[in-house]
A and B are shown apart, each in its own frame.
Chain A
Amino acid sequence: MTLKEVVNNVAEMPASKNAVVDIKNLSLTFQTADGPVYALSEVDLTIEEGDFVSFIGPSGCGKTTLLRVIADLERATDGHISINGVSPEAAREQRAYGYVFQAPALLPWRSIERNVTLPLEIMELSKEERVKRAQEALKLVELNGFEKKFPWQLSGGMQQRASIARALSFDADLLLMDEPFGALDEIVRDHLNEQLLKLWARTNKTVAFVTHSIPEAVYLSSKIVVMSPRPGRIIDVIETNFPKDRTLDIRETPEFLEIAHRVREGLRAGHSNDE
């Protein structure tokens, strides 16, 4: 399969999917003492149900900001955005998404299990239901057996897995992940990438994933969004068509390298405006 075929196949896919995230002409400007900072500028993007979308770009390109706008942690200054057909704020109130931050952000006074049940507690689920769901979520990230441990007793990779379990525990259909594996070493990262893919294949969740690693983006995604800084904007959207049960071996295939090349070209083009 050549890249062209991959891209064409995507184009021929049935149009029955629903837009989970719909962004039109979105801009966000921060007012600072040094003048306005254009974090996002005229962004158009549609994320469909079951998509795995990676946002890639150099630091300061607004990829995290875009994710935060989707999560209603930042408000756009201009343009239109809807999540499942409603505003980000309403979507947040409905607990439509799980968010995984760059750092695990586990509460140190809670055991791993109680960290995972935190959102369920806020949603006022019954105790049995909470424990049951926590067990399931911890099993998904292979952390069963560590329920009673405290966060500081776990390694960095295990902590990040616990935070993913927490995002999975309330079973939102949309998963927003902001460089979740950025601080981890290569081997742990590969392992977690594989687990994440398996999870995605099994649950058919929609995932929005911020990264600055090209291989990670290409390996994981069904759609790669390449962004460039100052002002933050989308310069390329690449669709891939690797099977959902792909393995790390696909990183050696020509298709993989071709897409990685296209991403790199896009990043380079976006960067040259600067220098």
Chain B
Amino acid sequence: MKLDRFCLVAAIAALLALIFPLSGVDSDTGKQVAFVGDIPGLAIAMALCVIAGAAFTWLGVKSVKAGVVILAIAVFGCWQATRVLYEYGVAGYAGLGFWLFIISLWAFVWRGIDVIANFRSLEPTKQHVANITVPIAFGVWLLFLWEVLVSGFGVPQVLLPPPSMIGERFVNSTDILAADFYQTFVKAVLSGYVMGCGSAFIVAIAVDRVPFLKRGLLPLGNMVSALPIIGVAPIMVMWFGFDWQSKAAVIVIMTFFPMLVNTVTGLNAAGKLEKDLMATYASGYWSTLFRLRLPAAMPFVFNALKINSTLALIGAIVAEFFGTPIVGMGFRISTEVGRMNIDMVWAEIALAALAGTAFYGAVAYIERKATSWHPSFRVRRH
């Protein structure tokens, strides 16, 4: 008979967690901070882990239902672990018993996510739910681990604050974050992105039309793209002032070349056969451009748009380090670091991550709608 090793680990670790001390000794009182016996919730969670672990070691986790049961137990365990940290004062004094319990939870979560990740259903909605659950569960588990490790070991907040603290700061400073978001993302990133990508697109069509531009401009563009953004940003601030215009200028410089090169490549993507076909219809330059060459170039154009969506945000934040009005995500990061408000820095980082992901996701979504004919997407349309 084959034993489920993850559940075995979970059961043994939970059993040991009941035996070993939950927490270290408080240096002031000379006593252990907390005992499992004093915390009924935790004791129940640990016992559940031992029983469920032992049971599933023999039974095996064979269905999604079993996976969900395991995950439910793990969620209950995680809740009790955070309670122990913050309500019973174990934060900073976590002992071997506590970490063994975390290991037990880790084994359960791993096994549970594994089962759901391998779930295959012919019903699209069920499959969809499973597909979404896996990354969410994994992300939540990583946040929990971060929280527990930082609090359990008592890591100084200046080095790394726990996610709960960042979340709290995020929720409590929405007005500041909203202002920063508006300044950096809506004003600088979006306008710079549209100007950079738009002008590069038009120049690409011109370059494609005029051979001497192709020979003369492309190498120069290559040089511009190699300019270090750190060097260019202060100059742009001198030229265009402290406000969003200088950031938009930096973004234009950063996004121009990827868009130019990709569009020029894309305009040559239409096959010889298709061009001959258009020639047999006596199709003119613009007709062929709009009916054949631009549609064929779209996968390349969207590639550049996706690359640029992340480049633009990086460019705006870095450029704000070199002078801004007293608002903006980059400005906030640089000043709050100086004031040791690391939680605010992390809140801005979280905001940047959210904005960047949403921006990229939006472009990727439009791409999928616009180029659903492309082989890389049509496979998924069953």
Q: Are B373 and A97 in contact (CB under 8 A)?
A: no
Interface SS majority for chain B: helix
Closest to A99 in B: B280
CA of A171 to CA of B11, assembled, Å: 79
Q: Is A37 an interface residue (CB 8 A)?
A: no
Given known A-B contacts A109-B371, A109-B373, A150-B373, A119 and B276 have beta carbons under 8 A apart: no
Contacts of B274 in A (CB 8 A): 105, 107
Is residue B295 within 8 Å, beta carbon to beta carbon, of the partner chain? yes
Quick check: which of B182-190, B237-245, B281-289, B319-327 contacts chain A, the rest being far away? Answer: B281-289
Residue from B273, B281, B374 within 8 A of A103 (CB atoms): B273
Please measure, in the bound complex, the distance between the C-alpha atom of A94 and the C-alpha atom of B280, giving whole angstroms: 10
Count B-side interface residues using an 8 Å CB cutoff: 21
Q: Which residue in chain A gives the minimum CB-CB distance to B378?
A: A152
Q: Quick check: is B292 within 8 A (CB to CB) of the other chain?
A: yes
Q: How many A-B residue pairs have CB under 8 A?
A: 51
Q: Is B126 an interface residue (CB 8 A)?
A: no
In the complex formed, the residue of B with least CB distance to A73 is B276
Q: Hey, what's the 0/1 contact readout for A92-116 against B, CB within 8 Å counting as 1?
A: 1111011101010101110000000
Q: Closest chain B residue to A121 by CB distance? A: B291
Check A164 for interface membership: any CB of B closer than 8 A.
no
Closest beta carbon of chain B to A94's beta carbon, Å: 8
Assess the B273–A118 pair: CB atoms within 8 A. no
Residue A267 at the chain B interface, CB threshold 8 Å:
no
Decide yes or no whether B277 CB sits under 8 A from chain A: yes
Indicate if the CB atoms of B373 and A92 lie closer than 8 Å.
no
**Chain B hits for A122, CB < 8 A:** 278, 281-283, 287, 291
- Asked whether A71 is an interface residue with its Cβ less than 8 Å from the other chain, the reply is yes
A119 x B295 contact (CB < 8 A): no
The answer to whether B279 and A118 have CB atoms under 8 Å apart is no
Q: Provide the bound-state CA to CA distance between A47 and B278, in Å.
A: 25
In the assembly, what is the distance between CA of A103 and CA of B277, in Å? 11
User: In the complex the two chains form, is B295's CB within 8 Å of A109's CB?
Assistant: yes
Name the distance in Å between A187's Cβ and chain B's nearest Cβ. 26
A101 near B273 (CB under 8 angstroms)?
yes
In the complex, A95→B374 CA distance in Å? 30
- Closest chain-A Cβ to B120's Cβ sits at a distance in Å of 25
Q: Which of B283, B291, B373 contacts A108 (CB 8 A)?
A: B373
User: Are B291 and A92 in touch, CB under 8 angstroms?
Assistant: no
For the residues of A in contact with B, the DSSP-based class is loop
How near does chain A come to B5, taking the closest CB pair, in angstroms?
45
The digit string for A115-151, where 1 denotes a CB below 8 A from any CB of B, is: 0001101110000000000000000000000000010
How many Å from the CB of B272 to the closest CB on chain A? 10
Hey, which chain B residues are within 8 Å of A123, CB to CB? 281
By a CB distance below 8 angstroms, the chain A residues around B378 are: 150, 152
A95 to B284, CA, bound (A): 13
Q: Which residues of A (64-80) have their CB < 8 Å from a CB of B? A: 71-73
Q: Closest CB of chain A to B277's CB: distance in Å? A: 5
B282 neighbours in A (Cβ, 8 Å): 92-95, 122
**Whole-angstrom distance from the CB of B85 to the nearest CB of chain A?**
56
In the bound complex, what is the Cα–Cα distance between A108 and B371 (angstroms)? 10
A105–B291 contact, CB under 8 A? no
Give Cα distance in the complex from A98 to B279, angstroms: 11
Smallest Cβ-Cβ distance to A103: which chain B residue? B273
- Check B373–A118 contact: CB distance below 8 A: no
Contacts of B374 in A (CB 8 A): 108
CA A90 – CA B337 in complex, angstroms? 73
Residue in B279, B281, B378 with the greatest tally of chain A CB atoms within 10 Å: B281
A73 / chain B contacts, CB cutoff of 8 Å: 276, 279-280
Given contacts A107-B292, A109-B295, A109-B371, contact A71 B273 (CB under 8 A): no
Q: Contact check, A101 vs B277: say whether CB atoms are below 8 A apart.
A: yes
CA distance A110 to B52 in the complex (A): 56
User: Could you say which residues of chain B place their CB within 8 Å of the CB of A108?
Assistant: 373-374
Contact A95 B281 (CB under 8 A): yes
Closest Cβ–Cβ distance, residue B372 to chain A (whole Å): 8
- Cβ contacts A to B, 12 pairs, < 8 Å: A92-B280, A93-B282, A99-B276, A99-B280, A101-B276, A105-B273, A105-B274, A109-B371, A118-B291, A122-B278, A122-B281, A150-B378
Q: Can you add 13 more A-B contacts, CB < 8 Å, to A109-B298, A118-B291, A150-B373?
A: A73-B280, A92-B279, A94-B282, A95-B282, A99-B277, A105-B274, A107-B274, A107-B292, A107-B295, A109-B371, A119-B281, A150-B378, A152-B375
Q: Which 8 interchain pairs have the tightest Cβ spacing?
A: A109-B373, A99-B280, A108-B373, A119-B281, A105-B273, A122-B283, A122-B281, A93-B282
